[in-house]
C-alpha cells in the first residue's frame, strides 16, 4: 500500500498558457523544478479570406478553460496545487470590448493584412524617423495601431462604441484577474507605446484618435502580478480562487523567457521560431530602432528586436496538401523556386503578394517542389535574421535556437541548417511559449525575475547540431527570384 502522507503532500504547480493563432496550449509545470508535467490543448477557429483573418475572443477564453482542464487531467494533477497562472498570447490582435467586457466584434489578428493602406498612411503622416524614435518599429499591417485605424475608417460605429481596447493576452489576463493590465513586451507591438519612454505615447495616441482611458495599465514586466484569480474565473477553470495572475506577455516574448534569454540570462543569442508565423529574435540591452525589423520590448525589461514572416508552417503544409505529399517527403528544390507568400507578406513588406512558383522543368519532381516551398519560407526568415544580427557582430557566431511547431519536423530543421550554415540548437522542450508563461506565473508568485526562474528550471536545454555547408546556390537562386519579382508582388491588387 502506498504511503498516504506522501500522496497527500502538496506539490506546488504553476500554469503557463500559450494562446497562439491556431490553438491554446496550457503547460502544467512543477513550480520547484520546472518539470513539464503535461500540456493541455484546444484548437481555435480563424476565419476570413482575401487578407481578412479574425477570431472571436470568446473562442480563446473557452480554449483556455479547455486546455487547462486537459493539462491537469493529463498530468493527473490536483487543481488545488496550482499556485499561479500567466498567459502569453499571439501579438498585435485588436480586441474591442463593450463596458461589460464583451467583444464588440471578432478580433483582427496579426496576419490580417487589410490595414496595409492605413499602415502606409500612418508612416507618411509621422515619417519613418519619428516612428522609430518613438515606437521603435514602423507601421506595417500587423501592428495594432493600423488595425485600429482600419476599424475607425471601415466600422466607425464599432470604434466609437469601444469601452476598452485590448491585445489577445491582456483580454485573457483581465478575464482571469478582473484587472486591466498588459506588459511592455506586448504593448510594444501596438505602436501606440513608446519603447523610448516605456509608456503609452500621447502623440501616437492622438494621431490614431485612441483614448488612453480605453487601454490597460502597463505593468513593469510580464512577471509582475496583475491581480488574483477571481471567483468567476476560478469556477470556470476549476482552479483555486485568489491565486496570483501574472501580467503575461506576447508569445515571442514568452518564448524568450522560456529559453532563458534576457537581462538575468543570455543576451544576443538568436532564436528562430517556426509556427504560423516565422520569427527571428534576440534579447538585447540596446533599444532597437531600425527599418525592416520590429523594435519590441522584451517581457523582462530588456528589448526584443524581431523579424516576422506571415508564411511559415501553414504555407509549407498547403504545398504538401496540393502535391499530395507527407510534409517530410521532400528533396532539395533544385532549379525550382517557390516564394510561398500565400497570405501576402510582412517581411519583406509585400502585404498584397501571392505565392510564386518558378524554375519548373520536366525533370522537376513533386518532392523538389515541396522542398522549394520549405526553402522559400526558410530563406525569407533567414534574410530577416541577417538584418537582426548585423548590428551585433558578436552574435554572428552564436548558435541558432530553433523552436515552434515546425522545429518538430526534420524537413524544417534540415532546410534551416542548409540555408543558414549555422550551428543549430534544438531545445528538448517543444512548448517554450507556454513554459515561458509558466516562468512568468512563478515570478508573479515569488517576486523573482522570470528569466532567472526559467534559467534555474533550465527549460531551454537542448542538443546542438553541427553546421552544414551553406547552400549558397539555393540562397542566390531564391534571392534573385525575389529581387526580380518584388515590384510585381508589391503592386498586386
Ligand X SMILES: O=C(CO)[C@@H](O)[C@H](O)COP(=O)(O)O
Provide the binding-site residues for ligand X, judged by CB under 6 A.
20-21, 90-92, 110, 142, 189, 250-252, 275-277, 279, 294, 306, 308
How many Å apart are CA 49 and CA 309, to the nearest integer?
18
Residue with cell 512563478: 442
When CB distances are held under 5 to 8 angstroms depending on the partner's kind, the choice from ligand ADP, ligand X, none that residue 110 binds is ligand X
Q: Nearer Cβ to ligand ADP, position 83 or 90?
A: 90
Q: How far is the CB of 429 from ligand ADP (least distance, A)?
A: 13
Among 132, 239, 266, 314, binds ligand ADP (CB under 6 A): 314
**405 interacts with ligand ADP by CB under 6 A:** yes
**406 interacts with ligand ADP by CB under 6 A:** yes
**313 interacts with ligand ADP by CB under 6 A:** yes
Among 73, 102, 124, 408, binds ligand ADP (CB under 6 A): 408
The number of helix segments (H) and strand segments (E) in the chain equals 17, 24
Q: How far is the CB of 77 from ligand X (least distance, A)?
A: 26
Residue with cell 538575468: 264
Contact 444, 82 (CB under 8 A): no
| Active-site option among 70, 106, 183, 251 | 251
**Is 169 annotated for ligand binding?**
no
When CB distances are held under 5 to 8 angstroms depending on the partner's kind, the choice from ligand X, ligand ADP, none that residue 175 binds is none
Q: How far is the CB of 306 from ligand ADP (least distance, A)?
A: 14
Beta-ladder partners of 30: 13
Q: Which of residues 14-33 bind ligand ADP (CB under 6 A)?
A: 20-23
Angle at 195 between CA 190 and CA 201, to 5 degrees: 65
Q: How far is the CB of 381 from ligand X (least distance, A)?
A: 11
CB atoms near residue 286 (< 10 Å): 12
**Is 92 annotated for ligand binding?**
yes
Q: Nearer Cβ to ligand X, position 250 or 301?
A: 250
Stretch that binds ligand ADP, among 50-58, 188-196, 205-213, 311-319 (CB under 6 A): 311-319
Contacts of 402 (CB under 8 A, 6+ apart): 271, 272, 273, 274, 412, 413, 416, 424, 425, 426, 427
Determine the straight-line distance between the first and last CA of the chain, rounded to whole angstroms. Answer: 72
Residue with cell 508568485: 445
Residue with cell 477553470: 237
Asked if 251 is an active-site residue, the reply is: yes
When CB distances are held under 5 to 8 angstroms depending on the partner's kind, the choice from ligand ADP, ligand X, none that residue 308 binds is ligand X
Q: Nearer Cβ to ligand ADP, position 204 or 435?
A: 435
Q: Which of residues 462-491 bind ligand ADP (CB under 6 A)?
A: none
Q: How far is the CB of 369 from ligand ADP (least distance, A)?
A: 17
Sign of CA dihedral 484, 486, 487, 491: positive
Beta-ladder partners of 194: 199
The helix (run of H) or strand (run of E) holding residue 97 is strand 95-97
Q: Nearer Cβ to ligand X, position 336 or 384?
A: 384
Q: Nearer Cβ to ligand ADP, position 431 or 471?
A: 431
When CB distances are held under 5 to 8 angstroms depending on the partner's kind, the choice from ligand X, ligand ADP, none that residue 262 binds is none
**317 interacts with ligand ADP by CB under 6 A:** yes
Stretch that binds ligand ADP, among 182-190, 235-243, 405-413, 448-456 (CB under 6 A): 405-413
Angle at 56 between CA 54 and CA 57, to 5 degrees: 115
How many Å apart are CA 39 and CA 20, to the nearest integer?
14
When CB distances are held under 5 to 8 angstroms depending on the partner's kind, the choice from ligand X, ligand ADP, none that residue 252 binds is ligand X
The site map against ligand ADP for 246-285 (x = CB under 6 A) is -----------------------------xx---------
What φ, ψ does residue 191 adopt, rounded to 5°?
75, 15
Contact 117, 148 (CB under 8 A): no
Burial of 164 (C-beta count, 10 Å sphere; 0-12/13-18/19+): buried
When CB distances are held under 5 to 8 angstroms depending on the partner's kind, the choice from ligand X, ligand ADP, none that residue 74 binds is none
SS3 string, 157-220, reads HHHHHCCEEECHHHHHHHHHHCCCEECHHHHCCCCCEECCCCEECHHHHHHCCCCHHHCCEECC
The catalytic residues are 251
Binding site for ligand ADP (CB under 6 A): 20-23, 275-276, 313-314, 317, 327, 404-406, 408-409, 412
Binding-site annotation: residue ranges for substrate: 91-92
Amino acid at each position: 500500500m502506498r504511503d498516504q502522507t506522501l500522496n497527500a503532500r502538496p506539490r506546488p504547480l504553476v500554469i503557463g498558457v500559450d494562446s497562439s493563432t491556431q490553438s491554446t496550449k496550457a503547460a502544467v509545470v512543477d513550480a520547484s523544478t520546472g518539470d513539464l508535467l503535461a500540456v493541455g490543448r484546444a484548437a481555435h477557429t480563424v476565419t476570413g479570406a482575401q487578407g481578412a483573418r479574425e477570431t472571436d475572443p470568446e473562442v480563446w477564453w473557452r480554449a483556455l478553460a479547455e486546455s487547462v482542464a486537459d493539462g491537469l487531467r493529463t498530468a493527473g494533477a490536483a487543481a488545488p496545487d496550482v499556485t499561479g497562472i500567466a498567459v502569453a498570447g499571439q501579438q498585435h490582435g485588436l480586441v474591442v470590448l463593450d463596458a461589460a467586457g464583451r467583444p464588440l466584434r471578432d478580433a483582427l489578428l496579426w496576419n490580417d493584412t487589410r490595414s496595409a493602406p492605413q499602415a502606409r498612411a500612418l508612416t507618411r503622416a509621422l515619417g519613418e524617423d519619428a516612428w522609430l524614435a518613438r515606437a521603435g518599429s514602423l507601421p506595417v499591417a500587423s501592428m495594432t495601431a493600423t488595425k485600429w485605424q482600419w476599424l475607425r475608417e471601415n466600422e466607425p460605429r464599432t470604434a466609437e462604441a469601444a469601452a476598452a481596447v485590448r491585445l489577445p493576452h491582456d483580454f485573457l489576463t483581465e478575464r482571469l484577474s478582473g484587472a486591466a493590465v498588459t506588459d511592455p513586451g506586448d504593448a510594444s507591438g501596438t505602436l501606440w507605446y513608446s519603447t523610448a519612454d516605456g509608456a503609452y505615447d500621447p502623440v501616437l495616441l492622438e494621431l490614431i484618435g485612441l483614448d488612453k482611458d480605453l487601454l490597460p495599465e502597463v505593468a513593469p514586466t510580464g512577471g509582475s502580478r496583475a491581480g488574483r484569480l477571481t471567483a468567476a474565473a476560478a469556477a470556470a477553470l476549476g482552479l483555486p480562487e485568489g491565486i496570483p495572475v501574472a501580467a503575461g506577455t506576447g508569445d515571442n516574448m514568452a518564448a524568450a523567457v522560456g529559453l532563458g534569454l534576457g537581462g538575468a540570462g543570455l543576451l544576443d543569442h538568436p532564436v528562430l521560431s517556426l509556427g504560423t508565423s516565422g520569427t527571428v529574435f534576440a534579447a538585447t540591452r540596446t533599444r532597437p530602432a531600425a527599418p525592416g525589423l520590429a523594435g519590441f520590448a522584451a517581457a523582462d525589461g530588456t528589448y526584443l528586436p524581431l523579424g516576422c514572416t506571415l508564411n511559415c508552417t501553414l504555407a509549407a503544409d498547403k504545398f504538401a496538401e496540393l502535391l499530395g505529399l507527407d510534409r517530410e517527403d521532400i528533396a532539395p528544390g533544385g532549379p525550382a523556386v517557390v516564394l510561398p507568400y500565400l497570405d501576402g507578406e510582412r517581411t519583406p513588406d509585400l502585404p498584397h503578394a501571392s505565392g510564386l512558383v518558378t524554375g519548373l522543368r520536366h525533370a522537376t519532381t513533386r518532392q523538389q517542389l515541396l522542398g522549394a516551398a520549405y526553402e522559400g519560407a526558410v530563406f525569407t526568415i533567414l534574410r530577416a535574421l541577417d538584418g537582426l544580427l548585423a548590428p551585433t557582430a558578436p552574435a554572428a557566431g552564436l548558435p541558432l535556437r530553433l523552436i515552434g511547431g515546425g522545429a518538430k519536423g526534420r524537413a524544417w530543421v534540415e532546410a534551416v541548417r542548409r540555408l543558414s550554415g549555422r550551428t543549430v540548437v534544438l531545445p528538448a522542450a517543444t512548448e517554450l511559449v507556454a513554459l515561458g508563461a509558466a516562468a512568468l506565473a512563478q515570478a508573479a508568485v515569488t517576486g523573482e525575475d522570470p528569466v532567472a526562474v526559467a534559467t534555474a528550471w533550465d527549460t531551454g536545454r537542448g542538443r546542438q547540431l553541427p553546421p552544414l555547408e551553406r547552400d549558397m546556390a539555393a540562397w542566390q537562386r531564391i534571392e534573385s527570384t525575389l529581387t526580380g519579382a518584388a515590384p510585381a508582388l508589391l503592386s498586386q491588387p
